[in-house]
Structure 1
Amino acid sequence: MRLVQITDCHLFADPDAESRKGFPLRQLQSVLERARALRPDVVLVTGDISQDETPASYRHAFDAFSGFDCPWFWFPGNHDRPQLMSELREIHDEVDLDRWRLLVLDTQVPGQVHGELGQTQLQELAWRLEEDDRPTLLAMHHPPVDVGSAWMDAIGLADRDALWQTLAAYGQVKGILFGHIHQAFAARHASSFGEIAVYGCPSTSDQFLGGSPDFAIDEASRPGLRVVDIDGESLATWVERVDL
């Protein structure tokens, strides 16, 4: 089972619009070309599809992702308008990965840059984990750990401690995929059952400079994607980047 993660496209209604250091739609198309060559079984888009929150920007994304031969799924980030997304394609909260499952968590706080799950969603997560003990991946937009950049850590998942407290009772959660940080990231978080892997992903648009205390663009880096291969009980993952 191969899953490809795409994130933070930041598209505009104008297909030729520029971002700070590039052209978001062209860069997305280049990343998707590489993704198709990897022959994924599932494609997951982890938020911030749009920059200007227009219907046309989501139409560009929908048309681009519809070029895959496999199922693809998306969910909103802090920049997105879920209603506009849903009008084009349903937002799922779970993806069946055969022997595994992937649970999607909504971290969007309307009108805010940071993320939050809230007590109700955390309780629902516990119920969902109670009902199925298959190995599980979680996916969300905001990072549930510090990533080493003060400005980004301030706008990550606000109730991350409550998430980790919830997960402490469930050993089947093997990893968490997230977007928002526009850079590759990998860490492990200690839990009652060992460690849970935590992975960030490069953006298809601008890349952020890792380790910077203030906002900064990484001009030396390139757009990319994350590949997740699942084989039995094991998981392997890596980042691939594209030349522009």
Structure 2
Amino acid sequence: MLSYPTYRVNNPDGPLNILQITDMHLLPLASTDNAEDHGDAKPNCRHCFEANLAQALAEDIRCDLIVVTGDLVSKVETATYDYVFEVLHNTQIPFACIAGNHDVTDESSHDLPFDQRELMARTMDSRLLSQHVIETDFWQLLLLDSSTPGKISGAVTEADMDWLCAQLETCDKPALLAVHHHVMPMYSEWIDAHMIENADYFWQRVAPYAHLKVIISGHTHQEQVRYRNGVTVYSTPSTCYQFMPYKDDFSYDKQAHAGYRWLQLANNGNLASWVKRLDTW
């Protein structure tokens, strides 16, 4: 039987294939259609989550691990997490989930403009991971919680960074880090106001570790690739609605389909990654 959390993944041959899904934003299951109002687009977030997962796992690629990089819900409720974890368990593929801001913060009055909503701190579901290591034969996978209860932006604590640097210090395998909040600007003023607040400190601490090869995150609801100090930094689309890139004011991208990211980690430390979008919307 599949156990959770996952501590080790063995790839039987060839590269390690990781499926990243993020920002599902599921509403309580009692909601009539699990949809949120996003202008002209009203995605059924529960259906989109299931459709993304089904499409990805039907592809002609072996999936060795599923990583969920936060914002599993839009309202913190245990039953919603029960549903997510049941769906993931049923794949019989090892998986790991970390928190996003919506997993530790509820918003009041969704009918109000965003800047008029009250943000309420919530306790993180105990199944969401932080300071977690998944070992593989040729890579080290590190998961860190960047969420801050009661806030949209994220942060990494000194204790988090001490832990991360200790892992990188004691293992010289190529490393992948998964966080929710982005650690490099997206050149979109409104979303960059809600990135990891102490990103400069983060980059200073990890600078000595050349074997940190890749960082994956969610939060931005869009696909972008950045590079810094030899690290490839991927931002990944949401499984539901998308944000318009390179806009200083908040805007939905109503033409962009939901999606997910594949990461293929080779035994020699190289990697390949690509985004796939839902065939139907």
TM-score by length of 2: 0.81
Post-superposition offset of 1:73:
0.6
1:12–1:56 Cα contact (<8 Å) kept: no
2:71 to 48, 70, 81: 48
Residue matched to 2:275: 239
Aligned-pair CA distance for 1:90? 6.0
The partner residue of 2:164 within 119, 122, 125 is 125
d(CA) in 2 for partners of 1:236 and 1:67? 27
In 1, distance between residues paired with 2:173 and 2:165? 14
Corresponding residue for residue 9 of structure 1: 24
Q: Give the secondary structure class of the aligned counterpart of 1:229.
A: strand
Q: Which moved more, 1:147-156 or 1:59-68?
A: 59-68
Other-structure match for 1:114: 153
Which residue, out of 233, 241, 244, partners 1:209? 244
Using the TM superposition, give the Cα deviation of residue 97 of structure 1 relative to its aligned residue in structure 2, in angstroms: 2.9
Residues 150-169 of structure 1: pairs in structure 2 closer than 5 A: 150-169=189-208
1:97 match: 136
SS at match of 1:85: coil
> What is residue 72 of structure 1 aligned with on the other side?
95
Q: Compute the TM-score of the two structures, normalised by the length of structure 1.
A: 0.93
In the other structure, the counterpart of 2:57 is 36
How large is the RMSD of aligned CA atoms in angstroms?
1.5
Q: State the SS of the aligned residue for 1:117.
A: coil
Name the aligned partner's letter for residue 277 of structure 2. Answer: R
Aligned partner letter, 2:221: H
Q: Quote how far apart the aligned CAs of 1:83 are.
A: 5.5
Report if aligned partners of 1:58, 1:84 keep a CA contact under 8 Å in 2: no
Contact 1:203/1:225 (<8 A) preserved: yes
Larger radius of gyration: 2
Aligned to 1:178: 217
Structure 1 distance, partners of 2:88, 2:244, is 27
* Structure 1 segments unaligned to the other structure (5+ residues): none
1:136 aligns with 2:171: no
- Deviation of 1:69 (Å): 2.4
Task: Give the length in aligned residue pairs.
Answer: 238
- The alignment status of 1:63 with 2:86, answered yes or no, reads yes
Displaced runs of 4 or more, over 6 A: none
> d(CA) in 2 for partners of 1:97 and 1:212?
39
Q: 1: CA distance between counterparts of 2:210 and 2:74? A: 37
Match of residue 13 from structure 2: none
> Aligned equivalents of 1:90 and 1:225: distance in 2?
20
> Does the 8 A contact of 1:78 with 1:109 survive in 2?
yes
Residues 140-175 of structure 1: per-residue CA shift (max 9 Å, x gap)? 000000011100011001011011111111111001
